[in-house]
Amino acid sequence: MGLYAEDQEQLYHGPIPYIILLAGAAVAVGAIAAVGIVFSYIGSLGPASFWNNPWVRGIIGAALWAAVVGAGGLYLTLLERKFMARVQVRYGPNRWGPYGLLQPVADALKLMRKEDIIPDAADSLVMRLAPIVAFAPSFMLFAAVPWTATYVASEMDIGVLYIVAVTSLTPIGVLMAGWGPNNKYNLLGAMRFAAQELAYEVPLILAMIGPIAVAQSLNGVAIVEAQAGYWFGFIPKWNIFPQFFGAIIFFVAFMAETGRIPFDIPDAESEVVHGFTAEYSGMKFVMLLLLEYVHLIAGAALFVVLYMGGYLGPSPINQFAWFTLKLLFVILLMMLIRAVWFRVRIDQIMNLGWKILLPAALINVGFIGVFLALTVQ
């Protein structure tokens, strides 16, 4: 990788790694497509079938997404490590398993085996419950994400509002994680997280009003369907083009809610020593760590649904695959941002949230109202 001054010319490795990468991507896309086929089959059975009974669908959906999102979150750490490594002129995990594919497995095995320390001075019940309370809501929100036109684990009227409502419970768990272990750095991190979450919740919801108003519905499927069709025959009618302003507000706000660079002050290593996870070890730490990644997937999914036409796309691959590809695109974009940006200071974050994003979101809502009043009817 050009690490020595002499081998500046030898950056090219030959075609084999790229062939293997492409093959891997093909396999991954195939697997995603297979899941999509199962989903569309279930969706096509009609409301009377056993599989579409709300209870059955809820339980199966929960179990399935627990597995997929759990493993996805775990492998997202690997993806992030590999991706960041490539940005940073190094290789990333590549020793355990082919291309380091077993690295998350090893991490999980180790962390399961790790001793679980509850300090003497800790509020032990709060400390034990905190990861669950923090983790559960961000998991619950996958119930309302429309993966295909016919498959939503729980199709409800309030769709995206449910997602936002459930997300807003996460700070409780994080504040518990800050309070329980009786550690100043935990507390500082949790306070920063809660303040940040409160500040960016409002612009986030205000930015969501745009797509909701266009679709005249809170339902995810309806919002996606409202983006069907093309302008001039080739530009998809995604909300991101007419509502670019709102999309940016939403993107920044959900990046801040996820707590990643440049907004990663809740777990800034050099300032508050990993923040609210500082005192956690073992599986509890895993849950708090996965929180970030599940949040990331959920935020990206919401962005795709609201602004990037959800599962819509040209027909050659199925809807689920389109959704996943768009999701991966947004996630990789956020990882790239993480790799090259600096961290913002706490007062700068608050200023951005309250003084710039909030007025901007309000103005955006006004514009969309005027626009809709002029165009609709």
Which residues ranging from 256 to 275 are in contact with other proteins (CB under 8 A)?
Answer: 261-262, 264-265, 268-271, 273-274
Number of residues that bind other proteins (CB under 8 A): 93
Nearer to other proteins, 327 or 361 (CB): 361
Q: What is the C-alpha separation between 374 and 376, in angstroms, rounded?
A: 6
Q: Which of 19, 89, 356, 363 binds other proteins (CB under 8 A)?
A: 89
Q: What is the DSSP letter of 143?
A: G
Residues 172-231 that bind other proteins (CB under 8 A): 172, 175-176, 178-179, 182, 184, 187, 190-191, 194-195, 197-198, 201, 218
What is the spatial distance between Cα 298 and Cα 304, in angstroms, rounded to a whole number? 10
Q: Is 155 a residue that touches other proteins (CB under 8 A)?
A: no
Q: Residue 52 interacts with other proteins (CB under 8 A)? A: no
Whichever of 195 and 362 has its CB closer to other proteins, that residue is: 195
Asked if 43 is part of the footprint of other proteins (rule: CB under 8 A), the reply reads no
Q: Which of residues 321-360 bind other proteins (CB under 8 A)?
A: 339-348
Q: Do residues 271 and 50 lie in contact, with contact meaning Cβ atoms separated by under 8 Å?
A: no
Report CA-CA distances (Å) from 319 to 147, 264, 315: 8, 33, 8
Q: How far apart are CA 273 and CA 118, in angstroms?
A: 18
Which residues touch 6 (CB under 8 Å, ≥6 apart)? none
If one asks whether residue 280 binds other proteins (CB under 8 A), the answer comes out as yes
Compose the 107-146 pattern: x for residues touching other proteins by CB under 8 A, - for all others.
xxxxxxxxxxx-----x-xx--------------------
User: Are 117 and 128 within 8 A, CB to CB?
Assistant: no
> Is 279 among the residues that bind other proteins (CB under 8 A)?
yes
Q: Are 220 and 146 in contact (CB under 8 A)?
A: yes
User: CA 263, CA 343: separation in Å to the nearest integer?
Assistant: 6
Q: Nearest approach, Cβ of 290 to other proteins (angstroms)?
A: 14
CA dist., res. 183 & res. 187, Å (int)? 6
Of residues 237 and 354, the one with the C-beta less far from other proteins: 354
Binding segment (CB under 8 A) for other proteins, from list 15-23, 167-175, 248-256, 322-330: 167-175
- Asked if residue 262 has a cis previous peptide bond (ω within 30° of 0), the answer is yes
CB of 364 to other proteins, least distance (A): 19
Window 65-84: residues binding other proteins (CB under 8 A): 81, 84
Q: Which residue has the tokens 């508050």?
A: 272
Residue 4 is a binding residue for other proteins (CB under 8 A): yes
Which residue of 33, 37, 64, 158 would you call a contact of other proteins, by CB under 8 A?
158
Nearest to 332 by CA among 266, 241, 268, 260: 260
